[in-house]
Amino acid sequence: MSSSARSDEGGMGVGLLGLGVVGTAVAKAIVERHRSEDPSVPLNVVAAVVRDTSRKRDVDLDPSVISTNLDTVVANPDVDIVVELMGGVDPAFDYITKALEAGQHVVTANKEVMAKRGSELLATAAENNVHLFYEASVAGGIPIIGPLMNDLTANKIQSLRGIINGTTNFILTKMAHEGADFDDVLSEAQSLGYAEADPTADVDGFDALYKISVLARLAYHTEVPVDVIHREGIREVHAKDFRYASELGYTIKLLAVAQANGESGLLSRVHPALIPLDVPMASVNGVLNAVEVEGDLVGPLWFQGPGAGPNPTASAVMGDVIRIAKGAPSNGSSSSAPKPFPIASMDDHVCQYYIRLTASDRPGVLANVARVLGDADISINSVLQKDTDIENGHADLVIMTHPARESNMQSAVSSIKELDSVLRLDSLLRVETYGDRA
Ligand code: NAP
C-alpha cells in the first residue's frame, strides 16, 4: 500500500491496536485534527482493536469502529498506518509483523517488543518498504529516537545516560526528600497511579532495560540483546542510604547507561547509582525523565521532560504518524541492519563503590574490612561510622572506595560477608563517574 492511499472518509486511515491510556489520547488527537479539518495531514481513525468492547472509552468514536477483530485493522486496505498501543511482545509482535507484511506503516510505543524483537521488525519493515517508527517507546514525550536516528548520525556516540523510568524516579525522589522507606513510597505511588499493582517491570529495572536496549541499538548501530544488559532494580535502596549519600555529596537515581569504551566495547547497564549532587541529573525529580547524550562532534546534549502520561506519549506517537502521513522518506537509518559491535562485560566496569555494613562496634573491624578490600586491589577513599547502637554493640559502617573493577568488588563482597565482625552487608551501590571525578 502506498503512503498516499486514502481511507474512504478522506485522509490517511489510521488503525489502532489498543485503546487504553495512550490509545485513547491518540484517538482523541486524531478526532480533534479531523474536526479541525487540518488540510496538511488529514487523518481518520478507521478501526480500533481492543480486548473488551463493553468497556467505556473516553473518546468520541463511532462504536462500530471499535471491535475485537484484528482484521478490521491489519491488512484492511483503508488502514494506511497501524498504531500499536497494546504493549508486551505477544501478540504485539505478530500483529505488527502482519501489518508490515501487508504493506501498512506501523507506529508503536511498545519498548518491550522493540527491545526484544525490534531488529526483526525493522528488517520486515525494510523488506516491505514501509515505516516502523517508535519515538514513544523511550522516554514518552521526549524526542530522543528522532535525534539519534537523524540529527546526530554524524556523531560517534560516546555515552547515553538516562533516568528513563518515571515510577522509580518518583519513588527515589520521595525517599530522598522525605526519608521514607521503599515499601511506603511504593504504596503511595500505586495509589496515585504512578506504579502498577505489579510493580516488577518498573522497580526491578526491566522497563529501563528495554528502553536502554532500544537506544543503544540506535546509537551504536548494533544489536544489544536484553540479556547482555546488566540489570538491578531499586528494592535494596534504603532511606538511610540517601542520608549517608547526601553527607558524602551525592543522591541516588536509577540510571540506564550505554557507554562505548574503545578497548572493551559497549557496556549497557541499569542500576541504582550515587550521582554527585551538583550534576544536572541529580535535579531530575519525580516522574520526569532525562537523557544525556555525548557525541564526539556535538559534545554533551541534554534532553528532559515528561517520560510518560497519555498526552506526552500521544505527542510522540502523533509526531511519527504525521511524519508518515506527510510522506517521510522511505527506509532511512531507522531500518538499517545492525552491525556487530563488541559487547563489554560488567565484570570489567570500573567505578567507585559505596558500601554500607552493619558491623560490631569494636576495634579492628575497619582494619579487617580494609584488609579484605586490599586483597582484592581496592583502596578506601573515606569512611563514616554512623548510628551506633550501644546496647547491641552495632554500628553502620559506610565506606567509599577508590575506583575498582566490578569483578574485584564482587569477590571482596563475598569475603566481607564472611567476616565475624560484619553482621550484614546492607548496601553496595556504584558511584557514577562524571568526567575526571566520581
Ligand atoms: P493500557 O492502558 O493497558 O492499554 C492497552 C490497550 O490494549 C487496551 O485498550 C487493551 O484493550 C488493548 N489490548 C491489550 N491486549 C490486547 C489484545 N491481546 N488484543 C486486543 N487488544 C488488546 O496500556 P497503555 O498505558 O496505553 O500503554 C500502551 C503502550 O504504550 C505500551 O506498550 C506501553 O509500554 C506504552 N507506553 C505507555 C505510556 C503511558 O504513559 N501509559 C508511556 C510510554 C509508552 P482493553 O481496553 O479492552 O483492555
Q: Check residues 160 and 223 and name the one with the higher pLDDT.
A: 160
Asked if residue 91 has a cis previous peptide bond (ω within 30° of 0), the answer is yes
124 φ/ψ angles, rounded to the nearest 5 degrees: -65, -40
Q: Is 140 annotated as a binding residue?
A: no
Q: Which of 22, 52, 53, 98 to mutate to test the pocket of ligand 1 (most atoms within 8 A of CB)?
A: 22
Question: Which whole number is the average pLDDT over 188-216?
Answer: 95
Tell me the pairing of strands 81-84 and 404-405.
Answer: unpaired
| Amino acid identity for residue 227 in this structure | D
- CB-based burial label for 436 (10 Å; 0-12, 13-18, 19+): exposed
Question: 50 in ligand 1 pocket by Cβ < 6 Å?
Answer: yes
Question: What is the band of 339 on the pLDDT scale with cuts at 50, 70, 90?
Answer: low
Q: What separation in Å is there between the alpha carbon of 23 and the centre of ligand 1?
A: 7
Residue range(s) occupied by CATH 3.30.360.10 in the chain: 145-305
pLDDT given for residue 314 in this prediction: 98
Question: 1 in ligand 1 pocket by Cβ < 6 Å?
Answer: no
Q: Do 362 and 320 contact (CB within 8 A), yes or no? A: no
Active site residue 326: no
Q: What is the pTM for the complete model shown?
A: 0.95
Q: Is 339 annotated as a binding residue?
A: no
- The Cα 215–Cα 138 span in angstroms is 8
Beta-carbon contacts of 91 under 8 Å, excluding residues fewer than 6 positions away, are: none
Question: Which whole number is the average pLDDT over 289-297?
Answer: 97
pLDDT given for residue 34 in this prediction: 78
Question: Which whole number is the average pLDDT over 185-207?
Answer: 95
CATH superfamily of 12-137: NAD(P)-binding Rossmann-like Domain (3.40.50.720)
- The Cα 241–Cα 386 span in angstroms is 11
| Second-level CATH architecture of 145-305 | 2-Layer Sandwich (3.30)
Q: Do 268 and 230 contact (CB within 8 A), yes or no? A: yes
| Per-residue pLDDT at 12 exceeds 80 | yes
- What are the grid coordinates assigned to 361, written together? 562496634
The full DSSP string for 315-326 is HHHHHHHHHHHT
- The Cα 119–Cα 123 span in angstroms is 6
Q: Check residues 262 and 384 and name the one with the higher pLDDT.
A: 384
- What are the grid coordinates assigned to 280, written together? 544536572
pLDDT given for residue 262 in this prediction: 75
| Per-residue pLDDT at 4 exceeds 80 | no
Mean pLDDT value across the chain: 93
Question: What is the band of 335 on the pLDDT scale with cuts at 50, 70, 90?
Answer: very low
Q: Which of 86, 289, 311 to mutate to test the pocket of ligand 1 (most atoms within 8 A of CB)?
A: 86
Picking from 124, 68, 63, 65, the residue whose alpha carbon sits closest to that of residue 99 is 124
- The Cα 296–Cα 29 span in angstroms is 38
Residue range(s) occupied by CATH 3.30.70.260 in the chain: 350-431
The residue behind cell 488527537 is 29
Q: Is 431 helix (H, G, I), strand (E, B) or coil?
A: strand
Question: 23 in ligand 1 pocket by Cβ < 6 Å?
Answer: yes
pLDDT given for residue 40 in this prediction: 75
Q: What separation in Å is there between the alpha carbon of 411 and the centre of ligand 1?
A: 43
pLDDT given for residue 10 in this prediction: 54
Q: Do 400 and 250 contact (CB within 8 A), yes or no? A: no
Q: Do 156 and 232 contact (CB within 8 A), yes or no? A: no
Instruction: Give the neighbor-by-neighbor strand order of the sheet with 105-108.
Output: 66-67, 43-49, 12-17, 81-84, 105-108, 132-133
* Domain 350-431 falls under CATH 3.40.1160.10: no
Q: Is 373 helix (H, G, I), strand (E, B) or coil?
A: helix
| Per-residue pLDDT at 334 exceeds 50 | no
Residue range(s) occupied by CATH 3.40.50.720 in the chain: 12-137
Marked catalytic residue, from 28, 98, 174, 211: 211
Q: Is 278 helix (H, G, I), strand (E, B) or coil?
A: coil
